[in-house]
Amino acid sequence: MTPTPWLVAVTAVAVISDAMLLPFYPQFFAARFGVEDPSHVGAYLAMSCLVVLVALPGWARLARRVGTLPLLLVTQLVAGGLSLSCAVVTSLPWFWGLSLAMLVAKASYLLVYPYLMHFEPQDRHATLIGTLSVVVHAGGILGAMVGGLVLEHWAAAQVFRVMAVGDALQVAVCAWLIRRGRAPHSTPHAAPATERAPASSGAILRLGLVMLLFTFSAYLARPFFARYWELASGLPGEVLAGAVFAIPGAVAVALLALDLLARRPAGQAILLPLAIGLVGLLLQASGEVAAILAGRMLFGWALFRITVRLELRLFQLSTPDRYASDFSKVHVFQGLGVLVASWGAGRLVEAFGLTAPFLVAATGLALCALAYRRLLAGAETRPAAPSDSVSART
């Protein structure tokens, strides 16, 4: 029995913990520290992305020496202790220091993704990518709901105690897998990889640029969505705002279920989902409740399709012996997209209001489509096996 289901569970718990405050940072800083400046929220989110981006390569090098799961066991234990510290600290500078240190420790769980790809045969990569994409979306649903519930009914600091519980669950799963001998130190033997042409290496970097634009557009409207929804709808309450925020995640779960039942082959088209995502963002920018809800559903459909297809493209361009390295390269671009989006969201809201992130994100998707056509339309990929199923046919 492979450790895949348990490693997916570890990823799910980590994503839920990370998502609990994502739509509520403006409310959190206002309630906990009396800070209501949108630029402060944007700066904090940008710094959060930066520390994860810087920490991940170091964790990857250390994992090659000690093993991925032994490393996760220690880092998530440290993250749990720092989460509890964040729950009791009352100084804003100390909160910044402790919470960013916590994110450095939490960054190690991202190594699970390339680690997992070595346990699954190539003809199941699309299924695994689709499953992990849904884990991220479903984790966003549960995280937003739990975060909204905690903020609405308890003190804001309690969110970090709930995060610590998630860290403890991850530690328990890692310890159980190690004890059962289901956590090889190194990746399983893979078939010898053919030498990669220089064009393929260049294609990985071009894919990274496309992913940077896409990730920027996907994340730009997130930090202030809950506040935007409350003002546009006139309906207060963090739980309801969290539910609306999580609509794209619910759409992703439904799409994966339908694809698995229909056994649809993996698709390749990117431009049509990008166009649908752009329409979804413009509908949300309208400020009308019905349009916002419809836009969230279209945006969720597009996010799932684009995410799976771009990540499948990554592993088609790569070879098994290069999975971790190429994943790290692309993740740098994704992290930069999140970082710029997090920093820019606060600046945009401060200067132009809560509608601006939707309009700029729509422009970003249009640029992403243009970049894909110019940079990747002719890139060579290793064809996926016929039995690939999930995720993405228009």
pLDDT surpassing 90 at residue 373? no
Q: Which domain holds residue 338?
A: 4-184+196-375
Residue with more model confidence, 1 or 75: 75
The rounded mean pLDDT for the chain is 79
Specify the 3-state DSSP secondary structure of 391.
coil
Mean pLDDT score, 45-54: 82
How many whole angstroms separate alpha carbon 228 and alpha carbon 237? 12
pLDDT in tens, 168-222: 888 888 888 888 765 554 444 444 444 444 445 678 888 889 999 999 999 898 8
What are the structure tokens assigned to 208, written together? 């990274």
Q: Structurally, how many domains does the chain consist of?
A: 1
**Torsion sign (Cα): 205, 126, 107, 24:** positive
Residue with more model confidence, 246 or 321: 246
pLDDT in tens, 64-93: 788 888 888 899 999 999 999 988 888 899
For residue 280, is it within any domain? yes
pLDDT surpassing 90 at residue 282? yes
CA 72 remoteness from chain centre = 18
For residue 389, is it within any domain? no
For residue 385, is it within any domain? no
Banded pLDDT at 268 (limits 50, 70, 90):
low
For residue 290, is it within any domain? yes
For residue 190, is it within any domain? no
Instruction: Say if residues 393 and 270 touch (Cβ distance below 8 Å).
Output: no
For residue 257, is it within any domain? yes
For residue 386, is it within any domain? no
Instruction: Say if residues 159 and 86 touch (Cβ distance below 8 Å).
Output: no
Question: Residues near 32 by Cβ (< 8 Å), separated by ≥ 6?
Answer: 95, 156, 157
Q: What is the dihedral of CA 153, 156, 160, 161, to 10 degrees?
A: -40
How many whole angstroms separate alpha carbon 340 and alpha carbon 380? 30
CATH at 156: 1.20.1250.20
Percent of the chain with pLDDT over 70: 80
